[in-house]
Amino acid sequence: MIRFIHPILPTLSDIRDELENAIKNGMISMGPNVEKLEKNVMEFLNVSYSVCLDSATSALMLVLRNLNGDILVPSYTFHATLAACWWNRLNPIYVDIDPETLTMDPIDAERKITANTSAIMPVNAFGVQPAVSEFEELAKAYNLKLFFDSSQGLGSKSNGKYIGGNGDAEIFSLSATKVLPAGEGGILTTNDEQIYKSIKMGRHWGDPGSFYWENSYNPRDPGLNGHMTEFEAIFGIWGLKYLQARIDQRKQFVSIYKERLGNKVNYQKIPDSYETNYMYFAIIVPLEKHVQIMNNLELHEIQFKNYFYPCHMTDAYRKSVSLPITEECFYRVITLPIHNKLTESKINKICDCILEIL
């Protein structure tokens, strides 16, 4: 079987000392390694503040918790985006996507802004960042909050710089499927001190004390238990050192894919000013060949994803809306294996299965 995801993890010898110290000290959650990861991320992404949490979903839930009314989101996203809206009783207004970048369309977003709109939350799709400057202009013009769900985007770049400081806050995931896997975990980055303080308290039940012995037992805002463990932080610290090398290797694999598949398929467009981390590698195939290609990949034990499943079509977040581009992409996009344990021979086998149908 050719796996869709295969995370690169440290060996025991790579992190033995850090693990032994955490176990010996008895501080296995929200300790010095979490603080170190936060500092390393701030320096790596060149942002003012970062907060580590147990998941990107928790970060999204917390950053939205003081909003009301409508929030503009794409339907073409993993449903954690919508879960964060639901838990905050926000009304998601689905926005269609750009057919080339597969990210939220700012033109359609502006059409859907009303007096009840409180925020915009574009989503990074497969490592490709949405149209940041256009959304920042919209947020400013209509006095809206702007949060980027960049769960899939850690290590992607805009104008030669790592993303992380866009909008009011940007959220990344460290789950096992990501380019930087820590097992689980999320990171919120921001240049806004008030958001930083709010999220830091929010991950600790809304209490301003960072550690158990500092608890005031007087929460300032409703919060949750969003603690990152020391073990996840240790994985994250180790992986961050190799993040760019992992991305560079993925770019080489994508070059092989594109050389083999040529113009037989279309590819997700990466705008000139952006560099993707190739969290996923998406191809866009003819509608009439979509199911046949997926069946052939399955027949040859090649894992893939028919991804994203539009949220407006799910049982949990269903809405009767017109999103023609989103729906067409669902029926034409296939995300192929792209991970750092892939090989050229495996890529050739995947391409053979696709070309056999085209």
pTM, rounded to two decimals: 0.96
Kindly calculate the radius of gyration of the chain based on its CA atoms and give it in whole angstroms. 21
Residue 192 pLDDT greater than 90, yes or no: yes
Q: What is the pLDDT of residue 209?
A: 72
Q: Going from the N-terminus, what domains does the chain have, and what CATH number goes with each?
A: 12-240 (3.40.640.10), 244-355 (3.90.1150.10)
Alpha-carbon gap, residue 95 to 15, rounded angstroms: 44
Question: What whole-number distance in Å separates Cα of residue 133 and Cα of residue 54?
Answer: 30
Q: Is the pLDDT of residue 212 over 70?
A: no
What is the chain's mean pLDDT, rounded? 96
Q: What is the mean pLDDT of residues 155-180?
A: 96
Averaged pLDDT for residues 327-342: 97
Tell whether the model's pLDDT for residue 259 goes beyond 80.
yes
> Of all residues in the chain, what percent carry a pLDDT higher than 70?
99
In this prediction, residue 218 has a pLDDT band, given cuts at 50, 70 and 90, of: confident
Asked if pLDDT for residue 213 goes beyond 90, the answer is no
C-beta of residue 335 within 8 angstroms of C-beta of residue 281 = yes
Q: What is the DSSP letter of 79?
A: T
What's the rounded mean pLDDT across residues 296-324? 97
More confident residue, 6 or 215: 6
Instruction: Report the distance separating Cα 226 and Cα 237, nearest Å.
Output: 19
* pLDDT tens profile 11-31: 999 999 999 999 999 989 999
> Residues 247-267: what's their mean pLDDT?
98
Query: Do 336 and 304 meet the contact criterion of CB atoms below 8 Å apart?
Result: yes
Give the model confidence (pLDDT) of 108-150 as tens digits. 999 999 999 999 999 999 999 999 999 999 999 999 999 999 9
Rounded to whole angstroms, the Cα distance separating 18 from 168 reads 34
First to last CA, the chain: 22
Sign of CA dihedral 138, 140, 146, 148: positive
265-308 pLDDT, tens digit per residue, is: 999 999 999 999 999 999 999 999 999 999 999 999 999 999 99
Strand order in the sheet with 49-53: 49-53, 186-190, 169-173, 145-149, 117-120, 70-74, 91-95
Helices (H), the chain: 12-25, 32-45, 56-63, 80-87, 106-111, 132-142, 193-202, 230-240, 243-261, 290-299, 324-330, 344-355
